Amino acid sequence: MRRICVMGTGYVGLVTGACLSDFGNAIVCLDIDEERIDRLKNGELPIYEPGLEELVTRNTERGRLSFSTEIPFAIKSSEIIFITVGTPALPDGDVDMSYVFKAAEMISTFMEDYKIIVNKSTVPVGTGVEVGALIGKSHADEDFDIVSNPEFLREGAAIDDFMRPDRVVIGANSQRALDAIVDVYRPLYLRETPMVLTNVASAEMIKYASNTMLAAKISFINEIANICEAYSADVTAVARGMGLDERIGPRNLYPGAGFGGSCFPKDVSGLGSIARKAHVEVPVIDAINQTNICQQQLMIDKLKDLLGSLSDQTVCLLGLAFKPDTDDIREAPALRMIDALLVAGARVQTYDPVAMDNTRALYPDLIYAADPYQAAQGANALVLMTEWNEFRNIDLPRIRSCLLEAKILDCRNLYEPREMQELGFEYISVGRPPRRPGDTPGEEISITPAATPYPSFQ
């Protein structure tokens, strides 16, 4: 049993703490946010993540997991310290490293013996060296080691991703630290999880390169979807045809409203910023976020086309979270849609299974409904923004009877166009020909594969 503390109890810190305690380690999860820690001490989770509550309860009951704001004591009594604080984007696209450096300062101030400092936050290449230099001002080189252990979990599937990762990346510049962190992940050896053992800078780069590649796939398929629309091709068939090529693969090839969340947009701009600092030209990387912004605007334009104008319309918006199975609304495409609707003078009636509280804090004046049918009541159109499972099996005839006008903008291609037409909807989706009740079946609708067979992405 190793004594480990985790600095930062957000999505990554809480999942890391809970999972490492489940591996049998003694974990203290730390935060500077006292309210957050109080809630955790009372058994209340500050975030929604499937399976997390059960894991936290089990390990706190067994005495392996605790929560604290007593950072000095926790640092002194831990042999390994994980940094899992936020690294948000600054307005110019650069990475705000202030939380990481503050955490490093705290470690430097309170550590009294050898520590392994593991950075799990997503940080620019070179951060390990900078954190080492900061701590090295007050401590001898042999008193600490810096490790980079980037996290690849997806919100909504975070526990499974941590317990059954595609790979674990550990970057260290000392054998002692490398061996210790490999040992922390030893339970994953049972599953033969590949371990990528490398130096600190390479590990830092792997994280940025991976997220940027995933975001690039989404922006790429969104551009393909828009070309498909111009030529009456069906992007669902195109993506399937592409994805069966093993060099491409099917995942993250879903067109939609653009990516959001706390990682992709800021990591793409962060990598561009890192490249510019090194005088490296990266036009491909720069284009990823630009395409994403255009895609979010395109959804707003599609809704304008569907309704004629957004002004004085009532719009039912289903889904607020940036992806299903999370309450996280950071950079969610739904928020851009809400902004456009409110600016145009539209009324928004919305429903999301878990993200309404977070949204209400930002937009107190929307109508928050108890279910999708209440949200659709009397609306001029329904816009589907997040592909929650709950929306896949919605009672569409009932939705139609609730709506004032049978118009749907499906930003996630959740429904089958032909079926929507048969149900009497005017139906717009992404990268597929629009369908209206009076349309006669044309060549463009002859091959429409059934609903997407792949799990959600990001």
List active site positions: 263
Amino acid identity of residue 62, one-letter, is: R
DSSP-derived secondary structure for 77-123: H-SEEEE----PBPTTS-B--HHHHHHHHHHHHH--S-EEEEE-S--
**Least distance to ligand NAD, CB of residue 35, Å:** 10
Q: How far apart are CA 104 and CA 185, in angstroms?
A: 23
Judged by beta carbon, residue 37 or residue 180, the one nearer ligand NAD is: 37
Q: How far apart are CA 169 and CA 206, in angstroms?
A: 8
Judged by beta carbon, residue 14 or residue 334, the one nearer ligand NAD is: 14
**Least distance to ligand NAD, CB of residue 355, Å:** 14
**Least distance to ligand NAD, CB of residue 32, Å:** 5
Contact residues for ligand NAD (CB under 6 A)?
Answer: 7-13, 30-33, 36, 84-87, 99, 102-103, 106, 121-122, 151, 153, 155, 262-263
Q: How far apart are CA 340 and CA 154, in angstroms?
A: 28
**Least distance to ligand NAD, CB of residue 67, Å:** 11
Closest by CA position to 259, among listed 250, 269, 249: 269
Alpha carbon dihedral 333, 339, 340, 342, in 10-degree steps, equals: 140
Judged by beta carbon, residue 9 or residue 289, the one nearer ligand NAD is: 9
Closest by CA position to 10, among listed 75, 102, 83: 83
Q: How far apart are CA 8 and CA 5, in angstroms?
A: 10
Q: Are 200 and 172 in contact (CB under 8 A)?
A: yes
Judged by beta carbon, residue 28 or residue 340, the one nearer ligand NAD is: 28
Judged by beta carbon, residue 11 or residue 254, the one nearer ligand NAD is: 11
Judged by beta carbon, residue 264 or residue 425, the one nearer ligand NAD is: 264
Three-class DSSP category at 449: coil
**Least distance to ligand NAD, CB of residue 450, Å:** 30
In 324-439, which ranges are continuous DSSP H helix? 333-343, 356-362, 372-376, 389-392, 396-402, 417-422
**Least distance to ligand NAD, CB of residue 158, Å:** 7
**Least distance to ligand NAD, CB of residue 84, Å:** 5
**Least distance to ligand NAD, CB of residue 231, Å:** 36
Q: How far apart are CA 332 and CA 354, in angstroms?
A: 14
Residues 6+ apart with CB under 8 A from 396: 415, 419, 420, 423, 425
Alpha carbon dihedral 99, 13, 129, 98, in 10-degree steps, equals: -10
Judged by beta carbon, residue 150 or residue 250, the one nearer ligand NAD is: 150
Q: How far is CA 305 from CA 60, 75, 248, 300, 359, in A?
A: 53, 57, 34, 9, 26
Judged by beta carbon, residue 98 or residue 309, the one nearer ligand NAD is: 98
Three-class DSSP category at 208: helix
Judged by beta carbon, residue 32 or residue 423, the one nearer ligand NAD is: 32
Q: How far apart are CA 268 and CA 207, in angstroms?
A: 11
Q: How far apart are CA 311 and CA 141, in angstroms?
A: 64
Q: 373: which 2 tokens? A: 């049918």
Residue with the shortest CB distance to ligand NAD: 10
**Least distance to ligand NAD, CB of residue 445, Å:** 38
What is the separation of C-alpha 124 from the centre of its chain, rounded to a whole number of angstroms? Answer: 19
Give one word for 438, left, alpha or beta, with left for phi > 0 and alpha for psi -120 to 50: alpha
